[in-house]
Amino acid sequence: MLQPKAYVFDAFGTLFDTTSVLARCEETFPGQGPELTALWRSKQLEYSWLRCLMGRYEDFWTLTRDGLTFACHALHLRIDQDRLDHLLEGYFTLEPFPDTAVLTRLGDIPRAILSNGSPTMLNAVVSNSGLTSRFQHVLSVDAVKSYKPSPDAYRIATDCLGLEAKDIVFVSSNGWDVAGAASFGFRACWLNRQNAPLEMLGQKPEAIIRTLGDLVP
Amino acid sequence: MLQPKAYVFDAFGTLFDTTSVLARCEETFPGQGPELTALWRSKQLEYSWLRCLMGRYEDFWTLTRDGLTFACHALHLRIDQDRLDHLLEGYFTLEPFPDTAVLTRLGDIPRAILSNGSPTMLNAVVSNSGLTSRFQHVLSVDAVKSYKPSPDAYRIATDCLGLEAKDIVFVSSNGWDVAGAASFGFRACWLNRQNAPLEMLGQKPEAIIRTLGDLVP
pLDDT tens profile B74-84 = 999 999 999 99
Residues B152-203 have pLDDT tens digits of: 999 999 999 999 999 999 999 999 999 999 999 999 999 999 999 999 999 9
Residues A107-121 have pLDDT tens digits of: 899 999 999 999 999
pLDDT exceeds cutoff 80 at A1: no
Cβ pairs bridging A and B (under 8 Å)? 93
pLDDT exceeds cutoff 90 at A18: no
Residues A28-72 have pLDDT tens digits of: 999 999 999 999 999 999 999 999 999 999 999 999 999 999 999
Task: Please tell me which of the candidates B55, B66, B183 has its beta carbon nearest to residue A200.
Answer: B66
String of b and e for B122-146 (b: at least 16 CB within 10 Å)?
Answer: bebbbeebebeebbeebbbbbeeeb
- Please tell me the distance from the alpha carbon of residue B205 to that of residue A96, in angstroms, as a whole number: 40
Counting beta carbons within 10 angstroms of the beta carbon of residue A70, is it exposed (0 to 12), middle (13 to 18) or buried (19 or more)? buried
Cβ-defined contact of A50 to B197 (cutoff 8 Å)? no
DSSP 3-state assignment of B171?
strand
Cβ-defined contact of A183 to B149 (cutoff 8 Å)? no
User: Which chain B positions have a beta carbon within 8 Å of A179's beta carbon?
Assistant: 50, 54
Mean pLDDT value of segment A85-110: 94
State pTM to two decimals: 0.96
Name the residue of chain A whose CA is nearest to B146's CA.
A53
pLDDT exceeds cutoff 80 at A187: yes
pLDDT tier for residue B130 given thresholds of 50, 70 and 90: very high
> In degrees, to the nearest 5, what angle opens at C-alpha A71 toward C-alphas A69 and A76?
95
pLDDT tier for residue B19 given thresholds of 50, 70 and 90: confident
B192 touches chain A (CB under 8 A): no
Cβ-defined contact of A200 to B149 (cutoff 8 Å)? no
Cβ-defined contact of B150 to A53 (cutoff 8 Å)? yes
- Please tell me the distance from the alpha carbon of residue A86 to that of residue A58, in angstroms, as a whole number: 21
